[in-house]
Structures are given as C-alpha cells and as structure tokens.
C-alpha cells in the first residue's frame, strides 16, 4: 500500500507557515514503513529537534482506479479516518530552502499515524466533517473539511492522474492551522465527528 499526502489544503495553515497557495495540489508520498502501528508510541527521531503534529482527515481507497473522473471519486472509498502527518519541521525548512524533496522530513519511520476507520455511510457528508486533535487534553487543532481548498473527490481525481490507486491506499488530505511541536510524554488524541480515532504517546 502507499500513502499519498496533500499539502497546503487549508488557507489558515498556509498562512501560519507563510507558504504560497499552490496552483495545483501539492502531493507527496510516505512509504508503508512510515506507519505507526496501532497503539504504538511515536518516537521522536534523533535527526530533528522540532517535530510537528499535523492532524488530517484520511481516506481509505477500496478499489483500483486511475484517471478517475471527479463525479465517480465517491465510488473509490468507503472508509474515512483521522491521522497525523508528523513532520520534522527543522529538516523540512532546510530542504525547502534548497528546493530539495521533503521525504526525509515527512516519510521517516513513524511519520504516519493512522487511527481507526469509520464507514462513510455512518458519517455526515465528507465535505462537512468536524475534526479536532487534543494535546494533553487541550484542543490544538480544530477544523471542518468544508474549509479544504480542494475537496476529497477532487483530490482523488487529481492524484489518480499520476498514481494508480489500489485497495488499501490511504490519502492524507492536508492539515488545518494549529500545527505545533511535540515533546516527550505528550499525548495526542484525534476526534472525527466526536469519535475518538487515535490516542498516541510521544516518546
């Protein structure tokens, strides 16, 4: 399976990092080795002193497809989840300044937290989902998918022009504002429409 991530998909987060709004969706990949297995802690990697949390709504692909038309995108997923795109912000800043790829800052072991899944039919419309993440009990990120610059069905159509989507692939749909550093012993919990989908300890 592969993990396809979308960057800069909420304007408030683009502003907090002083980035430019992308003309086309910004896309990067994470390998399967970046997955944090269920109930495992996240270990801060030795090469970063500034790992940030980015809570994101996740889409799980349930059939093979390429060149998917947007009007058919909804047929390619039936589960929605929540996860964290962990980012070594210090390393990413160095790579960005040199115009280099981000993988070392985004795709390292443990950089992808995937929480529990909920069937799409049990949730409101995918473009109207409320989600939030708490750090040690305090809300640090809270948003709605209604604020996405590019909505889920458009993203699926877009990425399928480049990558064949396969069963089990996961799309990270971008983070809203409120990203910030994590420290040893922090506990991050993610909620989608009130369902707690992950709880992860930082080590």
Q: Which is nearer to Zn ion, 28 or 78 (CB)?
A: 28
Rg of the chain over all Cα atoms, to the nearest angstrom: 16
Q: Which is nearer to Zn ion, 65 or 108 (CB)?
A: 108
Pairing of strands 170-172, 3-7: parallel
Q: How far is the CB of 9 from Zn ion (least distance, A)?
A: 8
Q: How far is the CB of 87 from Zn ion (least distance, A)?
A: 7
Q: Which is nearer to Zn ion, 65 or 174 (CB)?
A: 174
Closest residue by Cα to residue 65 from 158, 150, 152: 158
Kindly report the number of other CB atoms within 10 A of residue 81's CB atom: 21
The two structure tokens encoding residue 35: 């997955």
Q: Which x/- pattern, by CB under 5 A, does the window 157-176 give for Zn ion?
A: ------------------x-
Helix H or strand E segment including 199 = strand 195-201
CA gap 52, 21 in Å, rounded: 20
Among 3, 9, 54, 68, binds Zn ion (CB under 5 A): 54
Q: How far is the CB of 8 from Zn ion (least distance, A)?
A: 9
Q: How far is the CB of 153 from Zn ion (least distance, A)?
A: 19
Q: In sequence order, what DSSP letters do the residues of 32-83 get, joined into one string?
A: GGGEEPTTPPBPPPTT-S-EEE-EEEEEEE-S-BSS--GGGGGGGEEEEEEE
- Measured CA distances, 74 to 48, 62, 145, 171 (Å): 38, 10, 15, 13
Near Zn ion in 71-100, by CB under 5 A:
85
Q: How far is the CB of 29 from Zn ion (least distance, A)?
A: 12
Q: Which residue in the shown chain puts its C-beta closest to Zn ion? A: 85
Q: How far is the CB of 121 from Zn ion (least distance, A)?
A: 27
Query: How many residues interact with Zn ion (rule CB under 5 A)?
Result: 3
Q: Which is nearer to Zn ion, 65 or 106 (CB)?
A: 106
Q: Which x/- pattern, by CB under 5 A, does the window 2-41 give for Zn ion?
A: ----------------------------------------
CA gap 16, 20 in Å, rounded: 11
Q: Write out the residues near Zn ion by the rule CB under 5 A.
A: 54, 85, 175
């Amino acid at each position: 399976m592969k993990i396809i991530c979308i960057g800069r998909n909420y304007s408030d987060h683009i502003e907090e990092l002083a980035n430019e709004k992308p003309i086309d969706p910004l896309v990067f990949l994470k390998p399967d080795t970046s997955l944090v297995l269920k109930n495992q802690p996240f270990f801060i990697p030795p090469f970063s002193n500034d790992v940030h949390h980015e809570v994101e709504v996740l889409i799980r692909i349930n059939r093979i497809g390429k060149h998917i038309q947007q009007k058919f995108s909804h047929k390619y997923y039936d589960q929605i989840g929540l996860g964290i795109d962990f980012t070594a912000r210090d390393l990413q800043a160095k790579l960005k300044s040199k115009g280099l790829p981000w993988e070392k800052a985004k795709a390292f072991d443990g950089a992808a937290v995937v929480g529990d899944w909920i069937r799409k039919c049990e949730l409101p419309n995918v473009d109207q989902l409320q989600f939030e993440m708490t750090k040690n009990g305090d809300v640090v990120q809270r948003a709605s998918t209604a604020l996405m610059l590019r909505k889920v069905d458009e993203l699926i159509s877009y990425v399928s022009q480049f990558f064949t989507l396969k069963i089990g692939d996961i799309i990270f749909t971008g983070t809203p504002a409120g990203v910030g550093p994590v420290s040893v012993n922090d506990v991050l919990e993610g909620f989608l429409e009130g369902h707690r989908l992950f709880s992860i300890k930082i080590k």
